[in-house]
Amino acid sequence: MTFILFTVAGTTYAIASQNVLHIEMVEHVTPVPNAPPSVEGVVFSRGQVVPVINLRARFGFDRKGLDLRTRLLVVEHEGRRVGLLVDDAREFVTMTANVIHPPNEAVGSTSGNYLDGVAMLGDRIVLVLNIREVVETTPTAVA
């Protein structure tokens, strides 16, 4: 299976490429009043207004300003499009199921249900995201 690797706060994450519609640079996100803390706002992407989840905020890290490396991964789950704001996304890899291990109970319980597994790619630990949990736990008020 092919995955897109991206970083958030120095950690490498993976998301199945089949869930990603496209990746784009981010110049501006329009804030939305009374949005949940992890919702950065909205962007206009390929003819649609798309809510943007800041994964730094969602995962409990400090926010940082947008820069030339910041990317928006536009994903779709059950007909709902959402942009995931990440620090960097430039790598595609193929991983077989046997290199992805279930997260340890201690890790899984502290990181919510966001993780499908943990993989080793060379000397890197890669956390494999469960896109359903990331998207479905987002309030739909701005969508």
Q: What is the CATH number of the domain that holds 54?
A: 2.40.50.180
pLDDT confidence of 137, banded at 50, 70, 90?
low
Least confident piece of the model among 2-16, 64-78, 107-121:
107-121
Residue 142 CA to residue 103 CA, distance in Å, equals: 31
Residue 79 CA to residue 71 CA, distance in Å, equals: 22
Helices (H) and strands (E) in the chain, counts: 3, 11
Residue 31 CA to residue 29 CA, distance in Å, equals: 6
Residue 80 CA to residue 98 CA, distance in Å, equals: 30
- Domain count within the chain: 1
Give the residue numbers spanning the domain of 93: 2-136
- Residue 30 located in a structural domain: yes
How many Å separate Cα 15 from the centre of its chain? 7
pLDDT, mean over the chain: 88
Per DSSP bridges, beta strands 71-77 and 100-101 are unpaired
User: Tokens 């000397």 belong to which residue?
Assistant: 123
Give the residues across from 93 on adjacent strands: 3
Cβ atoms of 63 and 39 within 8 Å: the answer is no
Residue 43 CA to residue 115 CA, distance in Å, equals: 26
pTM: 0.88
**Tens digit of pLDDT for each residue in 34-91?**
998 899 999 999 999 999 999 999 988 999 999 999 999 999 988 889 999 999 998 9
Q: What would the two tokens of residue 64 be?
A: 């940082």
Cβ atoms of 73 and 64 within 8 Å: the answer is no
